[in-house]
Structure 1
């Protein structure tokens, strides 16, 4: 197999999709499977040295997700690179400019085509007051995936949602996510870490990690924490790791709520692992996840999780077994869950143990071994393709 991957986000972009795709291509190369990535240029501040395995193109920020880029590919450059590489399979990972080029080449040359569905973009629209675009967006998303032999989704919940929208279940398959337990683990010098932020080791740490944007509902985390601190635990501190367009608004909200939230900004390894492991609870109210990598990372660090009862996180967190799930958007429900965990040490310990055990089972290598077998099966000439051939 020779795989050409088309994506509008890739390392060094900082998001779950980019990190997952980078791991996937690293795995393929370790298996001696040629892989060529077509991706936008990253932001200047994140630029890396050129790679022989990646074709980069000029790009602009995507308005719903400025950290991601919309590529402006040169068609001649794309065609020449593909003609030289001679792919036997094309994988489209995002439904934007790069993905469209991948689909066009697959149709023209009758190359097996697969896709991975990573993001519920329709759920983002309401947070930006453009929900009138939902029907139009779904018509486009349906068309984009129409010729794919297989479509890989991050969770069973996402698969069922797409099935309910009329997608052919025979083409849908789960590509779950793993966690590197060498990078994410419970070991931490808590006293030293908290001292760097002027916090005493006796503080009860509530931790949020993720993009600071409307669709992540970080404002719900702040409201829930404010109620919890006011009514239950005045020794609690809120620590927020992440960056994004809502940063300043969230800081103003924290001041208005009367809480001294600690905003870390973008936080990468190894510091991110340290905060996961030092926290008493991980609070993640985002209602738009197709998987929610940060939830699995927190569990692998031995931190009890409180999350929204919707989206892909429900496949990772079993309510009352390995964490607590709350009604999306209900700050009071999240505050009540914080209070329950705070008052019940036995529950916290059970969630910690079960989260650690779940994280240990989520091996990236095992996940990619299974995924590779599915890709190879999808590329088999014995499978009749429904791909619509085009000319030009």
Structure 2
């Protein structure tokens, strides 16, 4: 079987969609399933792979870290026809997704897609709520013509059902527990960033409005006022709010910038808690990664995050934007070591049940269902065309 994937984001871009698709392609490689992925070219390209086809792109004006594909339709059509896919998967609803949708209909190729980002929730952070009805109409048009739309969490599935979306299924997310795990990273991280504080708290994600950085900063100020030299924050990531964020904090905070996965794992393992106020997540990969490191998460009781954290068991869920709740939750766990250890053990135990192989195997079964072939057939013999 041959799968063509169309996406507007892929590595080396740093976001949940890009990381998930990168893992999917490596899984397909390992299982011997043929695929070609079409994505915008990035200015920071790394080693190319034969089955990753990059197209010209330009920075997105509102969000320069993102790229807008400017493909050559003739060349892309030629590559697609040479590959002869049995299935097309559109991972994003923009330029590349529209091209995948167009070619699927033109050549009669079964089409599925995935919904990764709560774009509507982002609008409030950019003062663009007025276009919400237009956005939902477009997304319904885009997804309801697909044979299947995969969403990462039950919360997102229910949201889309309520908005009139059809043919929905769950494609969850996993975590590599051999990479993200509790270890003796505390001393290495403390040496690297010269941390002497008793407690380390962390955040990982884009430093952008939709991650509710405003709430995070207020919580940090509250904690720092009370705990002073006893706490140090590690802020992992970068984005449009980076400069303003750094200007608001001096001591007790280290901004690491983007880190690769092994370094992020070290930060989580060295942290007492990960604080994640974003309420716009359709899943929340970094939350699961933190739990895999045995680090409880103080997160927003919204979106996909509420489907990952078991309140008062693996972390604490707080009302979105409620600074006092987040602050109190942090103090509650830092002041109760036995409760923290209990949560840490439960967090790691839960993460161990979230295997990427199991999740990708289910996705292949869903592909098989769309193509009306036996479930599991793809992994048994590759089902060559």
TM-score norm. by structure 2 comes to 0.94
- 1:199 alignment partner in structure 2: 195
Q: Pick from 102, 105, 118: which aligns with 2:103?
A: 105
CA gap of 1:65–1:180, structure 2 versus 1, over 3 A, is farther
Q: Does 1:273 align with 2:265?
A: yes
Instruction: Write out per-residue CA displacement over residues 188-215 of structure 1, whole angstroms, 9 at most, x where no aligned residue.
Output: 2422321222212x52111111110011
Instruction: Write out per-residue CA displacement over residues 66-103 of structure 1, whole angstroms, 9 at most, x where no aligned residue.
Output: 32211011110111111111111110000000000100
CA gap of 1:138–1:30, structure 2 versus 1, over 3 A, is same
> Do the aligned residues in 1 keep the contact of 2:38 with 2:96 (CA within 8 Å)?
yes
- 1:385 alignment partner in structure 2: none
Q: Does 1:25 align with 2:25?
A: yes
> Do the aligned residues in 2 keep the contact of 1:281 with 1:306 (CA within 8 Å)?
yes
Q: Distance in 1 between matches of 2:284 and 2:60?
A: 21
Q: Distance in 2 between matches of 1:36 and 1:107?
A: 18
Q: Does 1:226 align with 2:221?
A: yes
Q: Does 1:210 align with 2:205?
A: yes
- 1:387 alignment partner in structure 2: none
Once the two structures are TM-superposed, the CA of residue 225 in structure 1 deviates from its matched residue by 2.1
Q: Pick from 353, 364, 373: which aligns with 1:372?
A: 364
- 1:350 alignment partner in structure 2: 342
Q: Pick from 129, 132, 135: which aligns with 2:130?
A: 132
> Do the aligned residues in 1 keep the contact of 2:202 with 2:268 (CA within 8 Å)?
yes
Instruction: Write out per-residue CA displacement over residues 255-283 of structure 1, whole angstroms, 9 at most, x where no aligned residue.
Output: 5xxx5311111111322111100101100
CA gap of 1:235–1:381, structure 2 versus 1, over 3 A, is closer
Instruction: Write out per-residue CA displacement over residues 43-80 of structure 1, whole angstroms, 9 at most, x where no aligned residue.
Output: x2x21233220221111223454322110111101111
Unaligned runs of 5+ in 2: 375-385
- 1:290 alignment partner in structure 2: 282
Q: Pick from 232, 235, 241: which aligns with 2:230?
A: 235
* RMSD, matched Cα: 1.6
Q: Does 1:35 align with 2:39?
A: no
Matches within 5 A, 1:39-50: 39-42=39-42, 44=43, 46-50=44-48
Q: Distance in 2 between matches of 1:209 and 1:77?
A: 38
Q: Which moved more, 1:121-130 or 1:311-320?
A: 121-130
Unaligned runs of 5+ in 1: 383-392
Q: Distance in 2 between matches of 1:63 and 1:290?
A: 24
Q: Does 1:53 align with 2:45?
A: no
Q: Distance in 1 between matches of 2:32 and 2:3?
A: 11
- 1:263 alignment partner in structure 2: 255
DSSP 3-state at the match of 1:118: coil
- 1:15 alignment partner in structure 2: 15
> Do the aligned residues in 2 keep the contact of 1:228 with 1:336 (CA within 8 Å)?
no
- 1:390 alignment partner in structure 2: none
Would you say how many aligned residue pairs link Structure 1 and Structure 2?
A: 374
- 1:176 alignment partner in structure 2: 172
TM-score norm. by structure 1 comes to 0.92
